[in-house]
Structure 1
């Protein structure tokens, strides 16, 4: 299928793409390809299908293509091309070399966590938050923040990728069905439990997700305890049970996660992760201000 599909794209576009390797994907096709030594990511999904789970995926891929074209200043010109070939929609973007935030910031999980590592970790969190804020300034909320969607390239530049679930900010009719359970806020988890197709998404929801991402990167485990005890770090639970735990706000402390103490950071993240959204930071700028203040305090130590 891969070779035949690539041939059809090449015939339609005049490109000379070659398959490097197949990539795992939930639906459709994902390939690492190259043309004249330039590596790219090719994603495709069938347009005509009776699969109800594939239809939203098709719309999501088309949306990502549209957003990548629109906000090329944020993505560093990742977008290459997109279109329809026979019964498939495809998106081609440049291959982004680098490490995920979880890999890049693994220094924070070394024991003991030094003052230097604490400073660096908060500085890196600020760089991650900056990308979220840049996307919001361009009119979008990411909707699927997770460690693997923050990529740090070999030059140390931070990138926020995978915009399939992004929504237009302040759009009450935006189609949003939730994202990866480990990082969605309680209000989103509640919507996912009833299969709401238009779950509200705003900066306060996104701030929870950012806090959950930062928590996992620092502690190595997700913030919500899915098991019977707060110390149980297992993930092997039915999806609905995990959603219920998120909706109930079962957020564990750093100590319950077995993480190195960092009370100043923990205080900030716990505010991000409040079950009651009114108790969280209400704007990205408020969260940024607290992280900057923490950096200044660490620099005085």
Structure 2
């Protein structure tokens, strides 16, 4: 009996496989029950990722208003921990914002881009106000749903800001701040995470969405967009603050946005925006300035 059949038996849902999905570790599949699409994720018991998937299950249950009531069920079977949630239709932030990369000089596109990234930041703030830091901000984790709602998904690395010493080992190298990169290099299990760290990560996400290039240059050339390098070498580049400009990324100038992002991406934490509200106000001001120009 395969995993989907076993979960079907546990839940009584008689799940039908639609397709198997790529998974960094473990198992993932799109399944359905009488036309209702769902996502099934599973990892082997006792693995490090089991703890993360358990955490995501708890958050999906406890923050149903934030997550859009996606939780369906969880359990253990045949050496696996599994999580079943409703399927979420929509566009990732990269697909949603393709217009800005296709025509970055169009004023309407600039206005829409600022509106879109403000909506993304508001979702980060909503989670923060509930007592959590996402911990793994990246373009694919922001979903623009067809109904206009914004979703922030993949909560496996989320940190409870009220917990004294939460387990946090870092996230995708392209979007982590220098202090997190330093902790990852040291192999720390309790890397500190706060709003100032998340502000860097959000800035890195927006930099990528506008330029289609990650903000940190991993090679000796600031203009080289490649990232086929050793993992620790990339972490070292992040830690040293090798953040490129829009011009070095080959992107069309957008001075007002670049100023804000470069401050988000400061190596010195004290020079970054110190609150989400300050950052949001600065982003919203861009559209005001464009209206007055």
TM-score tier, shorter chain, comes to: over 0.9
- State the shift of 1:293 in Å: 1.3
Match of 1:52 in 2: none
- State the shift of 1:117 in Å: 0.8
- State the shift of 1:9 in Å: 1.5
Match of 1:127 in 2: 119
Partners of 1:42 and 1:12 in 2: CA distance: 13
1:248 aligned onto 2:240:
yes
Superposition pairs of residues 1-301 of structure 1, within 5 angstroms: 4-48=2-46, 55-301=47-293
Partners of 2:203 and 2:164 in 1: CA distance: 24
- State the shift of 1:294 in Å: 1.3
Contact 2:263 2:273 in 1 (8 A): yes
Partners of 1:31 and 1:112 in 2: CA distance: 36
* SS class of match (1:298): helix
Show CA shifts across 1:59-81 (max 9, x none). Answer: 00000000110111011111111
- State the shift of 1:185 in Å: 0.0
Contact 2:132 2:158 in 1 (8 A): yes
- State the shift of 1:127 in Å: 0.1
Contact 1:81 1:91 in 2 (8 A): yes
Moved over 2 A (4+): none
* SS class of match (1:34): strand
* SS class of match (1:25): coil
Contact 1:172 1:200 in 2 (8 A): no
CA RMSD, 1 decimal = 1.0
Partners of 1:235 and 1:224 in 2: CA distance: 9
- State the shift of 1:112 in Å: 4.5
Contact 1:170 1:202 in 2 (8 A): no
- State the shift of 1:7 in Å: 1.6
Partners of 1:201 and 1:168 in 2: CA distance: 10
Partners of 1:171 and 1:107 in 2: CA distance: 40
TM-score, length-scaled by structure 1: 0.95
* SS class of match (1:190): helix
Partners of 2:172 and 2:105 in 1: CA distance: 28
Partners of 2:230 and 2:76 in 1: CA distance: 37
Contact 1:203 1:282 in 2 (8 A): yes
Show CA shifts across 1:257-277 (max 9, x none). Answer: 000100000000011000000
* SS class of match (2:2): helix
